[in-house]
Structure 1
Amino acid sequence: MGIEDIKSALPEYAKDTKLNLGSVSTTSSLTEQQLWGTLLACAIAARNPVVLREIADEAAKHLSEEAVSAAKGAASIMAMNNVYYRAKHLIGDEAYQSLPARLRMQIIGRPGVEKLDFELWSVAVSAITGCGVCLESHEKTLTKEGISRDNVHDALRIAAVVHAAAVTLDAEAALAG
């Protein structure tokens, strides 16, 4: 169960996604916790049941219970924040920028893992959901605190490939339905 099962489920036309999934999950500049937390958070954000189950099963072999919970927390909080901050930005009325969010976000301050790992997972999820405001904010925090652009880049690559696998399997399920 895991990444290999996702790769096996991908059709021939998604050969690039299959190859990229193997590459991003095995050749990364990220620590093991950063890698598997990013994969898990992105699988949740990508919303495909097969991708999520397979990555979650494999991630559990590489992450502590606290890290699994934090990766899930990153996906959850960013699901809320990405909608909220993207909407405020897209409205284009500066008056909204001064209004307080009044949304609880305590997990960001105390995620249960190293804060920079959580930030990395947050930037990857923000890439999937397309919130430029959150991407900029989390990327600035990461690079300011010493995370390399290569690490951020790897997280973005993981987000792109996990999302592509999810979209492909969703399409195949819908067409078979």
Structure 2
Amino acid sequence: MSLDALKDALPEYAKDTKLNLGSVIGNSPLPAQQAWGTALAVAVACRNGQVLREIAAEAAEKLSPEAVTAAKAAASVMAMNNVYYRAKHLIGDEEYNSLPARLRMQVIAKPGVDKVDFELWCLAVSAITGCGVCLESHEKTLRGGGLSRDTVHEALRIAAVVHATAVTLDAERELAVAEG
């Protein structure tokens, strides 16, 4: 189980995604915890079983058990927060901004890993779900925490490639079902 298995599963028309999967994640300049935590959190958010299984298996070899749990927690809490904060923003009524969320988010305060790593994973998941409010908030926290734009950029590249892999494999699975 590995990135190689995902690359092998991609059809020829997705050659760019295949090449990017190996180079963007496999050769990431990020420390392993940041790169693989990002890949795992995004794989959870992408909801493709094959992508999740392959990335989770490889991530488990490169991350501590605490980091694996934290990456999954980042995806989980952002699944909730991205819907909530994006919806408040899209409604366009500033009155909603004065209302407290009253949603439990304790993992953000104590994620079990370095806070900037967790924030980076939350940012990457927010890119997948398209929550501009969360993207801005996490990017500001990351930059304030000393991470460079290059680091943020690399996490976004990982998110983009994992997402493209999930979308392509979902499409191919559905087309295969339709063809019988």
Name the amino acid aligned to 1:108.
I
TM-score calculated relative to the size of structure 1: 0.99
Report what 2:163 is aligned to. Answer: 163
Find the counterpart in structure 2 of residue 144 from structure 1. 144
Q: Which runs of 5 or more residues in structure 2 are unaligned?
A: none
Q: Deviations for 1:30-62, whole angstroms, at most 9, x for unmatched residues? A: 111001100000100011000000000000000
Two-structure CA RMSD over aligned residues (Å): 0.5
Paired letter, 1:30: L
Separation in 1, partners of 2:133, 2:156 = 15
Which AA in structure 2 matches 1:95? E
Deviations 1:139-170 (A, max 9, x none): 00001111010000000000000000000000
Cα deviation, residue 29, structure 1: 2.5
Q: Which residue is 2:92 aligned to?
A: 92
Partner of residue 111, structure 1? 111
> 1:85-128 CA deviation, whole Å, 9 max, x = no partner?
00000000000000000000000000000000000000000000
Between the aligned partners of 1:2 and 1:132, the Cα distance in structure 2 is 31
> Residue 76 of structure 1: CA displacement?
0.1
> TM-score, normalising length from structure 2?
0.97
| Counterpart for residue 3 of structure 2 | 3
Q: How does 1:17-56 map to 2 (within 5 A)?
A: 17-56=17-56
Contact 1:29 / 1:150 at 8 angstroms: preserved in 2? no
Instruction: Give the residue type in structure 2 aligned to 1:70.
Output: A
The aligned length equals: 177
- Specify the code of the residue in structure 1 equivalent to 2:143: T
Query: 1-side partners of 2:16 and 2:59: how far apart?
Result: 23
Q: Which sections of structure 1, spanning at least 5 residues, go unmatched?
A: none
For 2:149 and 2:100, the matched residues in 1 are separated by: 31
Cross-structure match for 1:58: 58
Report the Cα offset of residue 26 of structure 1: 2.3
Contact 1:46 1:166 in 2 (8 A): yes
Q: Which consecutive aligned stretches of 4+ in structure 1 deviate over 6 angstroms post-superposition?
A: none
